[in-house]
Amino acid sequence: MIRHLAPRILTVAVASVVGLAVAEVAFRAYARWTFDDHFPEWTENLVVVPGPQVFAFKPHATGHFPGNVDMKRTFPYRTNAHGLRDRDRPAKAQGTRRVLVIGDSYTWGYAVAEEEAYPQMAERFLRERGRPDIEVINGGIPDYNSRQERQLLEQLMPLYAPDAVFLAYVVNDAEPSTAMPNNPEETYRHSWSWFLTEAAELLNRKVFRRRLFPSAKDNVGSTYLDGFAEGSVKWKDSREAIRQMRDLCVAAGIPFTVLVLPDMTQNFDDTYAWRSIHDAVVGWGAELNIPTFDLLTLFRGEDHNALLVPWDGHPNAQAHRRMAEFLVARILR
Protein backbone atom coordinates (compact mmCIF):
# COMPACT_ATOMS: atom_id res chain seq x y z
CA MET A 1 0.00 0.00 0.00
CA ILE A 2 2.72 2.44 1.02
CA ARG A 3 4.74 1.41 -2.02
CA HIS A 4 1.84 2.41 -4.28
CA LEU A 5 1.25 5.74 -2.49
CA ALA A 6 4.89 6.81 -2.49
CA PRO A 7 4.98 7.93 -6.16
CA ARG A 8 1.80 9.93 -5.68
CA ILE A 9 3.10 11.61 -2.54
CA LEU A 10 6.35 12.44 -4.30
CA THR A 11 4.45 13.84 -7.28
CA VAL A 12 2.31 16.03 -5.03
CA ALA A 13 5.39 17.23 -3.11
CA VAL A 14 7.31 18.07 -6.29
CA ALA A 15 4.27 19.82 -7.78
CA SER A 16 3.82 21.84 -4.58
CA VAL A 17 7.45 22.93 -4.54
CA VAL A 18 7.35 23.87 -8.21
CA GLY A 19 4.06 25.71 -7.71
CA LEU A 20 5.43 27.70 -4.77
CA ALA A 21 8.59 28.51 -6.72
CA VAL A 22 6.54 29.79 -9.66
CA ALA A 23 4.29 31.81 -7.32
CA GLU A 24 7.37 33.26 -5.58
CA VAL A 25 8.99 34.34 -8.85
CA ALA A 26 5.72 35.77 -10.13
CA PHE A 27 4.98 37.67 -6.92
CA ARG A 28 8.48 39.14 -6.72
CA ALA A 29 8.20 40.30 -10.32
CA TYR A 30 4.76 41.78 -9.60
CA ALA A 31 5.99 43.56 -6.43
CA ARG A 32 8.90 45.15 -8.28
CA TRP A 33 6.75 46.06 -11.30
CA THR A 34 4.04 47.75 -9.21
CA PHE A 35 6.50 49.56 -6.93
CA ASP A 36 6.05 53.31 -7.40
CA ASP A 37 9.20 55.21 -6.49
CA HIS A 38 7.64 58.61 -7.20
CA PHE A 39 7.23 60.97 -4.28
CA PRO A 40 4.23 63.24 -3.61
CA GLU A 41 4.37 66.67 -5.26
CA TRP A 42 5.41 68.40 -2.06
CA THR A 43 8.53 66.21 -1.87
CA GLU A 44 10.03 67.35 -5.16
CA ASN A 45 13.36 67.93 -3.42
CA LEU A 46 13.79 64.27 -2.48
CA VAL A 47 15.71 61.62 -4.40
CA VAL A 48 15.61 57.83 -4.17
CA VAL A 49 18.64 56.35 -2.42
CA PRO A 50 19.54 52.63 -2.41
CA GLY A 51 19.69 50.67 0.81
CA PRO A 52 17.95 51.41 4.12
CA GLN A 53 18.09 55.16 3.58
CA VAL A 54 15.40 54.95 0.84
CA PHE A 55 15.43 58.70 0.19
CA ALA A 56 17.50 61.83 0.80
CA PHE A 57 17.22 65.57 0.23
CA LYS A 58 18.79 67.17 -2.80
CA PRO A 59 21.67 69.56 -2.00
CA HIS A 60 20.99 73.30 -1.93
CA ALA A 61 17.25 72.82 -2.30
CA THR A 62 14.45 75.14 -1.18
CA GLY A 63 10.81 74.26 -0.74
CA HIS A 64 7.76 74.07 1.51
CA PHE A 65 6.43 71.18 3.57
CA PRO A 66 2.78 70.88 4.67
CA GLY A 67 1.61 70.29 8.21
CA ASN A 68 0.47 66.84 9.30
CA VAL A 69 -2.82 68.00 10.84
CA ASP A 70 -3.61 70.86 8.44
CA MET A 71 -1.86 70.26 5.11
CA LYS A 72 -2.96 73.69 3.88
CA ARG A 73 -0.52 75.19 6.35
CA THR A 74 3.07 75.02 5.12
CA PHE A 75 6.51 76.13 6.25
CA PRO A 76 9.67 76.85 4.25
CA TYR A 77 12.94 74.94 4.40
CA ARG A 78 16.30 74.82 2.65
CA THR A 79 19.17 72.36 2.54
CA ASN A 80 22.93 72.71 2.50
CA ALA A 81 25.50 71.10 0.19
CA HIS A 82 24.94 67.72 1.87
CA GLY A 83 21.14 67.81 1.89
CA LEU A 84 20.86 68.75 5.56
CA ARG A 85 18.71 71.49 7.07
CA ASP A 86 21.85 73.21 8.24
CA ARG A 87 24.17 75.93 7.05
CA ASP A 88 27.07 75.14 4.74
CA ARG A 89 30.17 74.61 6.82
CA PRO A 90 33.77 75.02 5.66
CA ALA A 91 36.45 72.48 6.42
CA LYS A 92 36.82 71.97 10.15
CA ALA A 93 39.14 74.64 11.52
CA GLN A 94 41.84 73.93 14.07
CA GLY A 95 40.45 74.31 17.57
CA THR A 96 36.86 73.79 16.45
CA ARG A 97 34.86 71.01 18.05
CA ARG A 98 31.82 69.61 16.29
CA VAL A 99 28.74 67.89 17.68
CA LEU A 100 26.62 65.95 15.19
CA VAL A 101 22.97 65.33 16.09
CA ILE A 102 21.34 62.46 14.21
CA GLY A 103 17.56 62.14 14.21
CA ASP A 104 14.28 62.43 12.35
CA SER A 105 11.70 65.19 11.88
CA TYR A 106 11.95 66.26 15.54
CA THR A 107 15.64 67.04 15.05
CA TRP A 108 15.18 68.42 11.52
CA GLY A 109 12.69 70.93 12.95
CA TYR A 110 9.46 70.01 11.22
CA ALA A 111 6.88 72.83 11.27
CA VAL A 112 9.28 75.36 12.84
CA ALA A 113 11.79 77.74 11.30
CA GLU A 114 15.32 76.51 10.68
CA GLU A 115 16.76 78.73 13.40
CA GLU A 116 14.19 77.34 15.88
CA ALA A 117 15.30 73.69 15.53
CA TYR A 118 17.03 72.57 18.71
CA PRO A 119 20.46 71.79 17.14
CA GLN A 120 20.59 75.33 15.71
CA MET A 121 19.39 76.76 19.01
CA ALA A 122 22.04 74.77 20.89
CA GLU A 123 24.80 76.17 18.67
CA ARG A 124 23.49 79.69 19.26
CA PHE A 125 23.28 79.15 23.04
CA LEU A 126 26.87 77.89 23.08
CA ARG A 127 28.02 80.95 21.16
CA GLU A 128 26.16 83.21 23.61
CA ARG A 129 27.91 81.42 26.48
CA GLY A 130 31.31 82.16 25.03
CA ARG A 131 31.84 78.87 23.22
CA PRO A 132 31.88 79.77 19.51
CA ASP A 133 34.43 76.99 19.07
CA ILE A 134 31.68 74.36 19.42
CA GLU A 135 29.51 73.74 16.36
CA VAL A 136 26.27 71.75 16.47
CA ILE A 137 25.29 70.15 13.16
CA ASN A 138 21.69 69.26 12.43
CA GLY A 139 21.73 65.73 11.00
CA GLY A 140 17.99 65.15 11.19
CA ILE A 141 15.90 63.94 8.24
CA PRO A 142 12.08 63.70 8.45
CA ASP A 143 10.63 60.17 8.44
CA TYR A 144 13.99 58.48 9.03
CA ASN A 145 14.12 55.42 11.27
CA SER A 146 17.09 53.93 13.11
CA ARG A 147 18.43 51.99 10.11
CA GLN A 148 18.31 55.07 7.90
CA GLU A 149 19.95 57.17 10.62
CA ARG A 150 22.76 54.62 10.89
CA GLN A 151 23.42 54.86 7.15
CA LEU A 152 23.29 58.66 7.32
CA LEU A 153 25.74 58.76 10.23
CA GLU A 154 28.20 56.64 8.28
CA GLN A 155 27.98 59.12 5.39
CA LEU A 156 28.26 62.28 7.50
CA MET A 157 31.13 61.32 9.80
CA PRO A 158 33.89 61.71 7.18
CA LEU A 159 32.25 64.91 5.86
CA TYR A 160 32.03 66.73 9.21
CA ALA A 161 34.58 64.94 11.42
CA PRO A 162 32.46 65.28 14.59
CA ASP A 163 33.97 65.17 18.06
CA ALA A 164 30.74 63.81 19.54
CA VAL A 165 27.51 62.28 18.22
CA PHE A 166 24.05 62.47 19.74
CA LEU A 167 21.24 60.21 18.52
CA ALA A 168 17.76 61.65 19.12
CA TYR A 169 15.46 58.62 19.37
CA VAL A 170 11.72 59.12 18.79
CA VAL A 171 9.03 56.52 19.52
CA ASN A 172 8.39 55.72 15.82
CA ASP A 173 12.07 55.08 15.01
CA ALA A 174 11.50 51.34 14.70
CA GLU A 175 8.83 51.87 12.02
CA PRO A 176 9.45 51.96 8.27
CA SER A 177 9.10 55.25 6.41
CA THR A 178 5.43 56.21 6.23
CA ALA A 179 5.33 59.19 3.87
CA MET A 180 7.80 57.86 1.30
CA PRO A 181 7.79 54.72 -0.89
CA ASN A 182 9.68 51.66 0.37
CA ASN A 183 11.00 49.30 -2.26
CA PRO A 184 10.02 45.62 -1.89
CA GLU A 185 13.61 44.57 -1.13
CA GLU A 186 13.33 46.66 2.03
CA THR A 187 9.78 45.62 2.88
CA TYR A 188 10.50 41.88 2.60
CA ARG A 189 14.15 41.90 3.68
CA HIS A 190 13.48 39.50 6.57
CA SER A 191 11.39 37.12 4.45
CA TRP A 192 12.82 34.10 2.62
CA SER A 193 9.49 33.93 0.75
CA TRP A 194 7.79 37.17 -0.26
CA PHE A 195 4.76 35.24 -1.52
CA LEU A 196 4.15 33.29 1.71
CA THR A 197 4.79 36.39 3.80
CA GLU A 198 2.18 38.35 1.85
CA ALA A 199 -0.24 35.43 2.05
CA ALA A 200 0.17 35.34 5.84
CA GLU A 201 -0.42 39.09 5.99
CA LEU A 202 -3.62 38.83 3.97
CA LEU A 203 -4.95 35.95 6.05
CA ASN A 204 -4.20 37.75 9.30
CA ARG A 205 -5.80 40.99 8.10
CA LYS A 206 -8.74 39.82 5.98
CA VAL A 207 -9.71 36.43 7.37
CA PHE A 208 -8.64 36.12 11.00
CA ARG A 209 -8.46 39.87 11.73
CA ARG A 210 -5.62 39.23 14.15
CA ARG A 211 -1.99 38.14 14.02
CA LEU A 212 -2.44 34.38 13.80
CA PHE A 213 0.38 33.60 11.35
CA PRO A 214 3.86 35.04 11.94
CA SER A 215 4.95 37.60 9.37
CA ALA A 216 8.34 39.22 8.83
CA LYS A 217 6.99 41.90 6.49
CA ASP A 218 8.23 45.36 7.48
CA ASN A 219 5.02 47.35 7.26
CA VAL A 220 3.58 50.13 9.39
CA GLY A 221 1.98 48.81 12.55
CA SER A 222 -1.39 49.85 13.91
CA THR A 223 0.46 51.30 16.90
CA TYR A 224 4.10 52.03 17.69
CA LEU A 225 3.91 49.38 20.41
CA ASP A 226 3.56 46.67 17.73
CA GLY A 227 7.17 47.22 16.74
CA PHE A 228 8.31 46.57 20.32
CA ALA A 229 6.33 43.38 20.89
CA GLU A 230 8.28 40.27 21.81
CA GLY A 231 10.06 38.89 18.75
CA SER A 232 9.45 42.00 16.64
CA VAL A 233 11.94 42.39 13.80
CA LYS A 234 11.41 46.16 13.97
CA TRP A 235 12.86 46.61 17.45
CA LYS A 236 15.53 44.05 16.61
CA ASP A 237 16.58 46.15 13.59
CA SER A 238 16.42 49.36 15.62
CA ARG A 239 18.58 47.89 18.39
CA GLU A 240 21.14 46.67 15.89
CA ALA A 241 21.27 50.09 14.21
CA ILE A 242 21.94 51.77 17.56
CA ARG A 243 24.70 49.27 18.28
CA GLN A 244 26.27 49.93 14.88
CA MET A 245 26.14 53.69 15.46
CA ARG A 246 27.87 53.22 18.78
CA ASP A 247 30.52 51.06 17.10
CA LEU A 248 31.13 53.68 14.40
CA CYS A 249 31.75 56.27 17.10
CA VAL A 250 33.93 53.94 19.17
CA ALA A 251 36.05 53.23 16.08
CA ALA A 252 36.43 56.98 15.56
CA GLY A 253 37.29 57.54 19.22
CA ILE A 254 34.36 59.88 19.91
CA PRO A 255 31.54 59.71 22.47
CA PHE A 256 28.06 58.56 21.46
CA THR A 257 24.97 59.57 23.44
CA VAL A 258 21.26 58.76 23.03
CA LEU A 259 18.45 61.18 23.84
CA VAL A 260 14.93 59.70 23.93
CA LEU A 261 12.46 62.40 22.85
CA PRO A 262 8.80 62.25 23.92
CA ASP A 263 5.78 62.31 21.63
CA MET A 264 4.43 65.84 21.95
CA THR A 265 0.88 64.75 21.09
CA GLN A 266 0.66 62.71 24.31
CA ASN A 267 -0.08 63.80 27.86
CA PHE A 268 3.08 63.93 29.95
CA ASP A 269 1.64 61.97 32.85
CA ASP A 270 0.77 58.37 33.72
CA THR A 271 -1.48 58.14 30.64
CA TYR A 272 1.50 58.60 28.30
CA ALA A 273 1.09 55.69 25.87
CA TRP A 274 4.71 55.03 24.88
CA ARG A 275 6.36 54.68 28.28
CA SER A 276 7.43 51.11 27.51
CA ILE A 277 9.23 52.27 24.35
CA HIS A 278 11.24 54.79 26.36
CA ASP A 279 12.09 52.07 28.86
CA ALA A 280 13.17 49.70 26.09
CA VAL A 281 15.55 52.25 24.55
CA VAL A 282 16.98 53.27 27.91
CA GLY A 283 17.46 49.61 28.80
CA TRP A 284 19.22 48.87 25.51
CA GLY A 285 21.47 51.88 26.06
CA ALA A 286 22.42 50.49 29.47
CA GLU A 287 23.23 47.09 27.93
CA LEU A 288 25.52 48.74 25.38
CA ASN A 289 27.04 51.10 27.96
CA ILE A 290 25.74 54.13 26.05
CA PRO A 291 24.82 57.26 28.03
CA THR A 292 21.07 57.46 27.45
CA PHE A 293 18.76 60.20 28.69
CA ASP A 294 14.96 60.10 28.68
CA LEU A 295 13.67 63.61 28.01
CA LEU A 296 10.14 62.62 29.00
CA THR A 297 11.23 63.44 32.54
CA LEU A 298 12.11 66.95 31.32
CA PHE A 299 8.46 67.64 30.42
CA ARG A 300 6.62 65.44 32.92
CA GLY A 301 3.53 67.10 34.38
CA GLU A 302 3.45 69.90 31.80
CA ASP A 303 0.69 70.69 29.31
CA HIS A 304 1.78 69.03 26.07
CA ASN A 305 -0.54 71.31 24.07
CA ALA A 306 1.67 74.25 25.00
CA LEU A 307 4.68 72.48 23.50
CA LEU A 308 3.45 71.43 20.06
CA VAL A 309 2.58 73.08 16.76
CA PRO A 310 -1.25 72.80 16.79
CA TRP A 311 -1.62 72.48 13.01
CA ASP A 312 1.03 69.78 12.84
CA GLY A 313 1.75 67.94 16.11
CA HIS A 314 5.56 68.30 16.13
CA PRO A 315 7.42 70.19 18.89
CA ASN A 316 7.06 73.97 18.75
CA ALA A 317 9.83 76.51 19.25
CA GLN A 318 9.41 76.44 23.03
CA ALA A 319 9.86 72.65 23.14
CA HIS A 320 12.90 72.94 20.88
CA ARG A 321 14.35 75.56 23.23
CA ARG A 322 13.99 73.20 26.18
CA MET A 323 15.64 70.35 24.27
CA ALA A 324 18.43 72.69 23.13
CA GLU A 325 19.13 73.72 26.72
CA PHE A 326 19.36 70.06 27.74
CA LEU A 327 21.66 69.32 24.81
CA VAL A 328 23.94 72.25 25.68
CA ALA A 329 24.22 71.03 29.27
CA ARG A 330 25.27 67.57 28.05
CA ILE A 331 27.78 69.04 25.59
CA LEU A 332 29.43 71.24 28.18
CA ARG A 333 29.76 68.31 30.59
Residue 17: burial class (beta carbons within 10 Å; 0-12, 13-18, 19+): exposed
Query: So what's the pLDDT on residue 6?
Result: 67
* pLDDT tens sequence across 5-45: 667 776 777 777 787 888 878 878 888 888 776 767 767 89
| Prediction pTM value | 0.90
Angle at 274 between CA 270 and CA 276, to 5 degrees: 90
Q: Dihedrals φ, ψ of 209, to 5°?
A: 55, 30
Domain locations along the chain: 2-34+183-208, 41-182+220-332
User: CA dist 10 to 1, 3, 14, 15, 196, Å?
Assistant: 15, 11, 6, 8, 22
Provide the residue type at 112 as one letter. V
Q: What share of the chain is helix, strand, coil (3-state, %, to 5)?
A: 45, 15, 40
Q: Beta 256-260 vs 164-169: how paired, if at all? A: parallel
- Work out the percent of the chain whose per-residue pLDDT is above 90: 66
* pLDDT value for 113: 97
Tell me which fold the domain 41-182+220-332 belongs to.
Rossmann fold (3.40.50)
AA identity, residue 32: R
Below-70 pLDDT ranges, the chain: 1-6, 10, 37, 39, 42, 211, 213
263 Cβ partners below 8 Å, 6+ apart? 170, 171, 272, 273, 274
pLDDT tens for residues 179-195? 777 788 888 887 888 78
